[in-house]
Amino acid sequence: MSPDADPAAPRTVFTGGTVYDGTTAAPSAADIAVQNGRIVEVGTGLDGDEQIDCTGRWISPGFFDSHVHVMFDGVDYLRMIGTPFSLNFYYAAVNLKNTLDAGITSVRDAGGADLGVKEAVRRGVIPGPRMQIAIGMLSQTGGHGDDWEACGVEIPLFPEHPGRPSTVVDGPEQVRHKVRELIRNGADVIKVATSGGVLSPRDDPRHAHFRDDEIAMMVTEAAAAGIFVMSHAQATDGIKAAIRNGVRSIEHGIYLDDEAIQMMLDAGAWLVPTLHAPRAVIAAAAAGASIPPASVDKAKMVAEAHLDSVRRAHQAGVKIAMGTDCGVGSHGTNLDELAFMMGAGLSSLDALHATTASAAELFGVADDRGRIAPGLRADLVVLDGPAGEVGAPGELRRRVRGVYQDGALVSTGTTARQLA
């Protein structure tokens, strides 16, 4: 128990449920005792001052999404151009609530949210998951984060403002300065694009971006501040460059070859697949969203290779953390990613582990949350349905019945109204 804990605080027991503990162990019947926001005991026949009846339900650690963008919800360029700048912050509050309603209690915002958004959640101004933020994504000129269009103007996905600087850089010294600026602005993680991407206008997902000396500089400066680097990396060579220079997680990982997979194993790096993202782009375009045809074509081009890469990485034993890229797709649909990962060969328990303890380790918070064990934070999700079973896309999120942070109920799982 923490030295600041109140020994007289009420002890709440979640009773009668089946517990999934965050590992790949099968769920089993158990009670969970919570006091001062922490799990204090897991077992059977536990007593307490208050009881929460979970009979017929199962309890999981709060879910993690390792890759979101809370400052927008669905890609539609004409709509984005017509949206007032400050309105996006209000939309972010809705997106965060929808994410929390889905049982996601911790997120890593991979670009867009600034320190003010994170602080609004931390201070209780708005409800939402615990946040780590990247603020922006380092991109070379002409790279995945360069918003220059062929007509000669820039149409930024995330407009610059005092809390979110431009992140287009070239050369190690520009990189050094920008990483330090992002850290000054509150970044918990540094994000880089070491390859082209699907939604950016003038690049190719199969091409590597940045050179080794530039990536090494990012990692060095991040390490000096005690944080990690995550890499948007779709191209094979871009993946290898990131791993070779100490990047902690590969986001997307669309074109993995056997050498890249072995490099990830040797380095202990994570794969954050985001299988959700290209599906969302294709579906949005089919529904009439304003998305450049080239981006839709790229989303279709990568789909088969993406699934195959995740399958082979999992079979080889690469560590996987769940991430969706929600923002590209709708917030609140995050748990659909687990079904997509199962389509790449993960079992239900593998997918759940990627969404709990494995992601907590990636975030660097495994000693605080991500498992159901004494001493850890009581971020919990209560769900209907077969314990530890993910089901088809859409099924798991519809079974969320209670979301708890520090043992306090913060959502009953009802998806918040999404603004048009």
For position 17, which CATH number holds?
Answer: 2.30.40.10
Query: Considering the entire predicted model, what is its pTM?
Result: 0.94
Distances (CA, A) of 375 to 40, 81, 358, 406: 6, 47, 18, 12
What average pLDDT score do residues 340-352 get? Answer: 98
What's the domain range around 36?
11-61+370-411
239: confidence class by pLDDT, cuts 50, 70, 90 = very high
Please give the Cα distance from 196 to 179 (Å, whole number): 20
Q: Are residues 20 and 123 part of one domain?
A: no
Whether 336 has a pLDDT exceeding 80, the answer reads yes
Q: Are residues 325 and 268 part of one domain?
A: yes
Computed over every residue of the chain, the mean pLDDT equals 93
Please name the residue that has the structure tokens 């128990």: 1
Tell me if 310 is assigned to some domain.
Answer: yes
201: confidence class by pLDDT, cuts 50, 70, 90 = low
390 phi-psi bin (left φ>0, alpha ψ -120 to 50, beta other):
alpha
Whether 420 has a pLDDT exceeding 50, the answer reads no
pLDDT digits (tens, 9 = 90+) for 370-396: 999 999 999 999 999 999 999 999 999
Tell me if 4 is assigned to some domain.
Answer: no
Q: Are residues 188 and 88 part of one domain?
A: yes
Q: Are residues 251 and 287 part of one domain?
A: yes
Distances (CA, A) of 48 to 91, 362, 375: 40, 34, 17
CATH code for the domain of 231: 3.20.20.140
- Which pair of tokens denotes residue 207? 């091409």
Please give the Cα distance from 54 to 266 (Å, whole number): 42
pLDDT score for 3: 64
Whether 330 has a pLDDT exceeding 70, the answer reads yes
Q: Are residues 80 and 213 part of one domain?
A: yes
What average pLDDT score do residues 163-182 get? Answer: 97
Q: Are residues 386 and 285 part of one domain?
A: no
Please give the Cα distance from 38 to 379 (Å, whole number): 8
Q: Are residues 279 and 391 part of one domain?
A: no
Whether 2 has a pLDDT exceeding 70, the answer reads no
pLDDT score for 419: 37
pLDDT digits (tens, 9 = 90+) for 245-286: 999 999 999 999 999 999 999 999 999 999 999 898 889 889
Domain count, the chain: 2
pLDDT digits (tens, 9 = 90+) for 18-64: 999 999 999 999 999 999 999 999 999 999 999 999 999 999 999 99
pLDDT score for 144: 86
Highest mean pLDDT among 122-136, 204-218, 292-306: 122-136
Q: Are residues 307 and 343 part of one domain?
A: yes
Tell me if 416 is assigned to some domain.
Answer: no
Q: Are residues 69 and 55 part of one domain?
A: no
Of the chain, the percentage scoring pLDDT greater than 90 comes to: 80
Q: Are residues 382 and 343 part of one domain?
A: no
79: confidence class by pLDDT, cuts 50, 70, 90 = confident
Q: Are residues 389 and 273 part of one domain?
A: no
Q: Are residues 379 and 267 part of one domain?
A: no
Q: Which long-range contacts (CB under 8 A, 24 or more apart) does 89-93 make?
A: 89/116, 89/117, 91/419, 92/117, 93/120, 93/126, 93/128
